[in-house]
Structure 1
Amino acid sequence: MNAQSPDTARLLPWTGTGGKPCYVVGNGSGHVSRTADKVEAVQLGMALELLDHADDLLEDDRSTEVQLRHVAAALTHSLRDVHRIARSRGLRLGMPDGCDEGGHPAGGGPVRLRP
């Protein structure tokens, strides 16, 4: 990641008590930021492995309902992680035009990245 200003808040790839978002304030070079980078890398790697596993299950006619429900639950969990990483990185790049404060499309219109 590029160095940030010392007062930049970064959304971390984990949640706090009650599922609330966690942030670190700094320039992106501290211990918590480095740990967050490592956690994000692990989460993204696990998501890719999970996608491969899901593809295998879907191609296998012998996959059971229980197996498919389990992989669907795992994919849901992984997608939440990947979404949080994308939001964090997007917020650090600058809020896209057409997004609300949470980084979600406002009013259902198209999202345009700022130059």
Structure 2
Amino acid sequence: MSTSEQASPVGDLRLLPWTTPDGRPCYLSTDSDHSKLSLLADDVETAQLDSGEQVLAGARAVLADPKAGEGAVRFALTRSAECLAEILRIAVSRGARIPRSEP
């Protein structure tokens, strides 16, 4: 999932923090940041960020343990990569919603 794939195809669409079953991005068109779907997306983003913090703490613990086996390191790296993808998606979505000032 590259940044260019996540960019909104049309002006004011919000990139949602989930994808279609086949992995394509989902977008929301709404006049309100307080619509039910906008609020659900906000809640999902919050949960993803919280999960990222927990995974980061777990990955750091595994990396600090010199006796951690390959399985533990692979699991920590796999979960870290998943969380990083989610957090990058959130960053792209939020960045696209920052009002642009005219020069």
> Which residue is equivalent to 2:7?
none
The one-letter code matched in structure 1 to 2:72 is: Q
Q: Structure 2: any 5+ residue segments left out of the alignment?
A: 1-10
**Aligned equivalents of 1:33, 1:51: Cα separation in 2:** 27
Percentage of matched positions with identical amino acids: 35
Whether the 8 Å CA contact 1:94–1:114 is kept in 2: the answer is no
TM-score (norm 2): 0.82
Structure 1 runs of 4+ with >4 Å offset: none
Q: Structure 1: any 5+ residue segments left out of the alignment?
A: 1-6, 96-112
Whether the 8 Å CA contact 1:9–1:24 is kept in 2: the answer is yes
TM-score (norm 1): 0.74
Deviation at 1:114, TM superposition (A): 7.5
Deviation at 1:62, TM superposition (A): 1.1
Q: How does 1:75-114 map to 2 (within 5 A)?
A: 75-94=80-99
Q: CA RMSD in A?
A: 2.0
What number of residue pairs does the alignment pair up? 92
